[in-house]
Amino acid sequence: MKKIYKHIVKREDLMIQNLLEELGKNWPFYLHLLLEHIGITFTAVIIATILGLAIGVFITRKQKLANSVISVVNIAYTIPSIALLGFLISFTGVGNTTAIIALTIYALLPIVRSTYVGITTIDPKIIEASRAMGSTDRQILWKIQLPLAFPVIFGAIMNMVTMTIALAGIASFVGAGGLGVAIYRGITTNNEILIWIGGILIALLALVIDGILGFIGKLVEQHKMHTVVNKKIGYALGAILVIIFGVLGMQQYSKNDTIHIASKPVSEGYILAEIVGTLIEADTDLKVKYTHGVGGGTSNIHPGMVRGDFDMYPEYTGTSWQIVLKHKEDYKNDKFPMLSAEYKDKYHFLWKGMFGFNDTYSIGIRADLAKEYGIKTFTDLAKYAGQLTFGAEYDFFEREDGYKALAKAYNYHFKKEVDMDNGLKYQALFDKKIDAMTVFTTDGQLSDPRVVVLEDDRNFYPSYMAGMVVREETLQKHPELEKVLHRLDGILDESTMAQLNKRVEIDKEDPKQVAKEFLQSKGLVVN
C-alpha cells in the first residue's frame, strides 16, 4: 500500500511539474486563449442578460404568453450542445459567432425564468400603492420591480455566468477560440498536459468570476452601491461592448493582410497548417491566423472555405473526390487533373503545395489478437470480426468511403462499433476497450509495437495525396503566395510525416515548433 501511495504522490508531483513547465514555456499562448475565452463568454453573457431581462419583463406584462415562451426556452435549453453547434454551422459557419449564439441560447433560460419569477412574486399591494401615488409603468419597473427582484435575478446571473464559462470550452469544436482549444488539441494529439491546463484555467476563471460577482451582489444588497450601481453597471456594460466591437473592427480591418488557415482535428493537420503558415510569414509580409482542429474536418471546413471564413487548409485528394465532389468511383492519382478542374469550376478553389505523401486509411489491430488469430490482412479480419469491437472517429461512420463501404467490401460484422475522437483511438486500443480501429498510414503512434497494421489486400482505399486547397480569390489578392506554396511541392514522404506526427503525439512536442524545425532542416527558413 505504501508503495502504491508513493507512486501516486510521485506521479502527481511529476504532473504538477510538467504543468508548470508547460505554462512557463508557452504562457503567451495560454494567455491568448484565456482572453479569447473571456471575450466569447462575456459577449454571450451580456447579450443573454439584456435579452433575458427584456423577455422576462415582457411576459410579466403578457401573462398568457408566459408559459409558452418559457416552454420554448426550456426546449432550446435541452438541445445537446454538440447538436446545436452543428445545426448553427449551416447558417453562421465556424468560428466565434456560432459559439456566441449557442452560448447565448443556453444562457437565456435562467435569466428569463428568474426575471419572470422575481417580478411576479412581488406583493401586489406594493405595486397598487405605487400606482395610487401616480407612478407610471416605467417607474414601477425600474424603481420597484427590478430592485425587489434583484436578489433572484442576480443569483440566476451568477449561476448562468459560471455555466457559460464552463460550456464555452466546447466552442473549439466549431473552430472558435478560448481555452477549449487547449483541451481539444490535447485530446486530438494525445497530450494530457494540454487537457489539464485548459480544464484548470477554465475552473479558475469560473471561481474568480463567481467570487467577484458574489462580492458585487453583497455590496448591492447592503446598499453600499445603491445610488451608483445602475450607472456603474451601465458604464461597465458600455465599456465592455466598446472593447468587443473595437476588437472585432480591428480584426476586420486587418483581415486583408491576414491569411486564415484551417486544419482538421488531427496532429497531422496541425503540423501541415503550421508548416504552411510559418513559411508564409517567413517569405512574405503577410500574417497568418490559424483555426486548428475544426470539428467534422472536411464537412465543416469546406463550407467555411465557400463562405470565405478560411483562405486555405490541408486536404487529401481521395477525401475531396468522394466527400466534396460526391464521386462514387474510386479515386486514382491519374484523376487529379479532373479533381483540380472541378474544384476550380465549382468552387473557385485551387490545389497548391502538394506535399508529396499519401496518407491513406488502414486498419490497426491489437498485436496480441493479430498473433493469436493469425490476422494479417483485411480479409483475415472478417473471419473474427463477430468477436471484436471496432472503433473509429465520428465522421468515418458517415463518409462515402467509410465504415458502410468498408464493411460491405470485406463482409465485416463486428460485435460492436464505437464512435470516438481520433485522438483517443490508440489509448482505447491499448486499454482493450476496442480491438480494431481505423488508422492513417502516417500516424505517429503506429511505431508502438502494441498495434499491427493490416494489409488492404483488395486495395479498397484510394490514394489520399496531401496538398493545400486555396481560394482562388486569395491568390489573386496575394500573388506572392503562389511561389511560397510551390516551395512545398514534394517536401514530405510518408515516413517523414509519420516521424513528425510521432513528435507531437508521443513526444508531446508543440506542432508549431515541430513545423519550424522541419522547415529549418530543409533550409526553407532560418532561425
We report the CATH number of the domain holding residue 411 as 3.40.190.120
In the predicted model, what is the mean pLDDT of residues 259-287? 94
Mean pLDDT of 330-335: 87
Do 466 and 491 form a contact (C-beta atoms < 8 A)? no
Cα–Cα distance for residue pair 418/435, rounded to 1 Å: 10
Question: pLDDT tens-digit profile of 41-75?
Answer: 989 999 999 999 999 899 888 888 888 888 888 88
Contacting residues for 86 by C-beta, under 8 A, at least 6 apart: 296
Look at residue 230 in the predicted model and tell me its pLDDT: 52
User: What number of CA atoms fall less than 13 Å from residue 275's CA on the CB side?
Assistant: 32
* Beta strands at 416-419 and 389-392: parallel, antiparallel or unpaired: parallel
Q: SS3 of 221, please?
A: helix
With cell 464559462, the residue in question is 165
Are 266 and 402 part of one and the same domain?
Answer: no
Per the structure, the count of domains in the chain is 3
Query: Is 327 a member of any domain?
Result: yes
Best-predicted range by mean pLDDT (32-41, 124-133, 367-376, 386-395): 367-376
Q: What is the structure's pLDDT at 406?
A: 92
92 pLDDT band, cuts 50/70/90, is confident
Q: Tell me: the pLDDT tens digits for 429-482? A: 999 999 999 998 898 888 889 999 999 998 888 889 999 999 999 999 999 999
* Residue 226: predicted pLDDT: 46
Give me the phi and psi of 95, to 5 degrees please: 115, -170
- Same domain as 347, residue 276: yes
Q: Is 135 left (phi over 0), alpha (psi -120 to 50) or beta?
A: beta
% of the chain with per-residue pLDDT over 70: 90
State the Cα–Cα distance between residues 470 and 481, nearest whole angstrom. Answer: 10
Q: Which residues contact 92 (CB under 8 A, 6 or more apart)?
A: 98, 101
Q: Is the pLDDT of residue 7 over 60?
A: no
Instruction: In whole angstroms, give the CA distance from residue 229 to residue 235.
Output: 10
The rounded Cα 169 to chain-centroid distance in angstroms is 8
Task: Give the C-alpha separation, 58 to 444, whole Å.
Answer: 57
Residue-level pLDDT at 3? 53
Shared-domain flag, residues 72 and 7: yes
Distances (CA, A) of 366 to 85, 372, 376, 390, 406: 35, 10, 11, 11, 19
Q: Are residues 346 and 423 in the same domain?
A: no
**Do 142 and 276 sit in the same domain of this protein?**
no
Q: Are residues 63 and 113 in the same domain?
A: yes
Tell me the three cell numbers of residue 399. 463518409
Buried b / exposed e over 280-307, threshold 16 CB at 10 Å, is beeebebebebbbbbbbbbbbbbbbbee
Residue 263 belongs to domain spanning: 256-354+471-503+511-521
Q: What is the pLDDT of residue 424?
A: 83
User: What is the spatial distance between Cα 510 and Cα 485, in angstroms, rounded to a whole number?
Assistant: 23
The rounded mean pLDDT for the chain is 86
The reported pLDDT for the residue numbered 87 is: 81
Residues 295 and 408 occupy one common structural domain? no
In this structure, the number of other CB atoms found within 10 A of the CB of residue 334 comes to 8
123 and 30 housed in the same domain: yes
Residue 246, domain member (yes or no):
no
State whether 210 and 275 are in the same domain.
no
Residue written as cell 517569405?
Answer: 283
The whole-angstrom separation of Cα 90 and Cα 47 is 22
Residue 4 has pLDDT above 60, yes or no: no
Categorize the per-residue pLDDT at 272 as very low, low, confident or very high, splitting at 50, 70 and 90: very high
Distance, CA of 41 to CA of 166 (rounded, Å): 9
In this predicted model, which residue has the larger pLDDT, 77 or 243? 77
Locate 181 and state its grid cell: 482549444
pLDDT given for residue 253 in this prediction: 46
Structural domain ending residue among the three candidates 209, 226, 243: 226
Cβ atoms within 10 A of the Cβ of 24, count?
Answer: 8
What HEC string does 373-385 produce? HCCCEHHHHHHHH
**What pLDDT score was predicted for residue 184?**
82
The verdict on 423 and 401 lying in the same domain is yes
Between 130 and 464, the higher pLDDT residue: 464
The answer on 296 and 386 residing in a single domain is no
Separation CA 457–CA 281 (nearest Å): 43
What pLDDT is recorded for position 13?
Answer: 66
* The model's pTM: 0.76
Per-residue pLDDT at 207: 92
* pLDDT one-digit tens code per residue, 207-266: 999 888 888 877 776 654 444 445 555 555 555 555 555 554 554 444 568 999 999 988
Higher pLDDT: 255 or 341? It is 341
Is residue 251, in this structure, part of any structural domain at all?
no
Question: 183: which 3 cell numbers?
Answer: 483541451
pLDDT confidence bin for 200, thresholds 50/70/90: very high
- Whether residue 242 lies inside any domain: the answer is no
CA–CA distance, 135 with 246 (Å, rounded to integer)? 40
Q: Which range is least confidently modeled, 197-206, 234-243, 423-432?
A: 234-243
Q: Are residues 427 and 365 in the same domain?
A: yes
**What's the pLDDT score for residue 231?**
53
Residue 460 counted as domain residue: no
Tell me how far apart the alpha carbons of residues 115 and 102 are, in angstroms, rounded to a whole number: 21
Q: H or E segment at 5?
A: helix 2-25
Q: Is residue 302 part of a domain?
A: yes
